[in-house]
Structure 1
């Protein structure tokens, strides 16, 4: 599996993504300081919740969305409630 960092190379990380990266970094640094994993590695979804600050239900939804994508299209996630851009018709 290719590291996520390489998959995001050249892409802009906006504030929400940066906040999640910071949360994960703080979680990992805290575990490194303590020398132990505070949450068992077998409980991956809960660890992800603690590391990212994202609700466990949202993580399950993201996991299921990733399963539903085909290998041909790659791993693309939708943006909830995003409306397609409409052409604006001007009247003269």
Structure 2
């Protein structure tokens, strides 16, 4: 993961007083894959997020809303897409959804 991306993520989550813990995984980029990771017992704590390339998939619709409302993300839309698998709302910087 590029250091610049990591710094952006840390800044965005720190505004909500949350920490980031990385657990590298091989993804097939499917909804089933995301659901499996979100339900995995190896991921302690909640809510969870999956960074897949330059897209951030959030498990919790509440966390998604809070992240989209952070001053940091509004001023630095550094992700192509930030969304929730089971939600209607999402955000794209290039309107790719």
Query: What TM-score do you get using the length of structure 1 for normalisation?
Result: 0.30
Query: What TM-score do you get using the length of structure 2 for normalisation?
Result: 0.29
Structure with the bigger percentage of strand: 2
Q: Computing the radius of gyration over CA atoms, which structure comes out larger, 1 or 2?
A: 1
Higher RCO (CA < 8 A, seq sep 6+): 2
